[in-house]
């Protein structure tokens, strides 16, 4: 790792500004006494700052889309966000450090029985706008249409209120919802897995190389697995392969 080169690109002032997406409840599980976010993603950012031997400043965003929009605006140095081709024009991503399965929830009486059944004419799918799986579905759906809402909770609301055919979401979140709403069921399998990675500006080539090495080491050393266990996310977050 070219640590000095990475510091000069990512933390020239001695402070690493890490962008955190607050809407992913699996990666940000709460706040500390000062109001700063805690969870797997903030701890990953802290481990990166420790490796660089610089201070850490967490910059928070209410959605992944807002975080991605800020790339290149000199408000963050690294961003902990899902890797997606639509974001890659401005952001260079490391390999994923965790992945989260994504599937659909439907009504118990729905004719949709499998993942492949969902992409058919007339089917309307509620989705959290500009999430990684929204971007994936936008790219891959051939027949079904998307109805976007701002955030996971709003997507669930619109799914119910407008009686849409399916709700796309992170499997752990849908499991929680289905536990409270017995009139719904979750389809087996997954249509994708969100690949949570660490991104840097495409202009920071040394920093991007450092992040690739760091993430690979964090997985092989067991750091990611320990953070998943620390925050009670075993079975909900998977160490990316």
Looking at residue 170, its pLDDT comes to: 95
Q: Within this chain, do residues 112 and 66 fall inside the same structural domain, yes or no? A: no
Residue 1 has pLDDT above 80, yes or no: no
Q: Within this chain, do residues 81 and 15 fall inside the same structural domain, yes or no? A: yes
> What would the pLDDT profile of 144-171 be if each residue is shown by its tens digit?
999 999 988 999 999 999 999 999 999 9
Q: Within this chain, do residues 109 and 60 fall inside the same structural domain, yes or no? A: no
> What would the pLDDT profile of 199-219 be if each residue is shown by its tens digit?
999 999 999 999 999 999 999
Q: Within this chain, do residues 131 and 47 fall inside the same structural domain, yes or no? A: no
Q: What angle do CA 39, 44, 50 make, to 5 degrees?
A: 125
Q: Within this chain, do residues 74 and 113 fall inside the same structural domain, yes or no? A: no
DSSP H helical ranges for 11-143: 40-52, 64-69, 115-118, 132-140
Q: Within this chain, do residues 11 and 65 fall inside the same structural domain, yes or no? A: yes
Q: Within this chain, do residues 61 and 112 fall inside the same structural domain, yes or no? A: no
Mean pLDDT calculated for residue range 12-17:
97
Which CATH number fits the domain that encloses residue 117?
A: 3.40.190.10
Q: Within this chain, do residues 48 and 36 fall inside the same structural domain, yes or no? A: yes
DSSP H helical ranges for 97-145: 115-118, 132-140
- Number of structural domains (the chain) is 2
Range of the domain at 37: 3-98+195-239
Q: Within this chain, do residues 122 and 143 fall inside the same structural domain, yes or no? A: yes
Share above pLDDT 90 across residues of the chain, in percent, rounded to a whole number: 97
Q: Within this chain, do residues 20 and 58 fall inside the same structural domain, yes or no? A: yes
Q: Within this chain, do residues 36 and 149 fall inside the same structural domain, yes or no? A: no
Q: 55, 166, 154: which is closest to 118 by C-alpha?
A: 166
> What would the pLDDT profile of 61-92 be if each residue is shown by its tens digit?
999 999 999 998 999 999 999 999 989 999 99
Distance in angstroms (rounded) separating the CA atoms of residues 113 and 108: 10
> What would the pLDDT profile of 105-130 be if each residue is shown by its tens digit?
999 999 999 999 999 999 999 999 99
Average pLDDT, the chain: 96
């Amino acid at each position: 790792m070219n640590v000095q080169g990475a510091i000069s690109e990512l933390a020239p002032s001695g402070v690493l500004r890490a962008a955190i997406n607050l809407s992913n409840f699996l990666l940000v599980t709460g706040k500390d006494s000062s109001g700063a976010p805690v969870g797997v993603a903030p701890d990953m950012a802290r481990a990166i700052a420790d490796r660089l031997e610089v201070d850490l400043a967490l910059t928070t965003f209410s959605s992944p889309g807002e975080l991605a929009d800020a790339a290149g605006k000199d408000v963050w140095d690294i961003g902990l966000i899902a890797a997606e081709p639509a974001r890659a024009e401005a952001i260079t991503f490391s390999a994923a450090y965790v992945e989260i399965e994504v599937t659909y929830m439907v009504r118990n009486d729905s004719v949709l029985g499998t993942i492949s059944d969902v992409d058919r004419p007339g089917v309307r799918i509620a989705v959290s706008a500009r999430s990684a799986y929204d971007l994936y579905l936008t790219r891959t759906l051939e027949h079904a249409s998307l109805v976007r809402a701002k955030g996971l909770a709003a997507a669930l609301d619109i799914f119910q209120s407008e009686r849409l055919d399916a709700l796309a979401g992170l499997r752990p979140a849908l499991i929680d919802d289905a536990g409270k709403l017995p009139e719904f069921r979750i389809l087996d399998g997954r249509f994708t897995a969100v690949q949570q990675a660490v991104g840097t500006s495409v202009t920071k080539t040394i920093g991007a190389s450092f992040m690739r090495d760091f993430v690979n080491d964090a997985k092989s050393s067991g750091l990611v697995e320990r953070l998943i266990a620390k925050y009670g996310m075993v079975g909900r977050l998977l160490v990316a392969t």
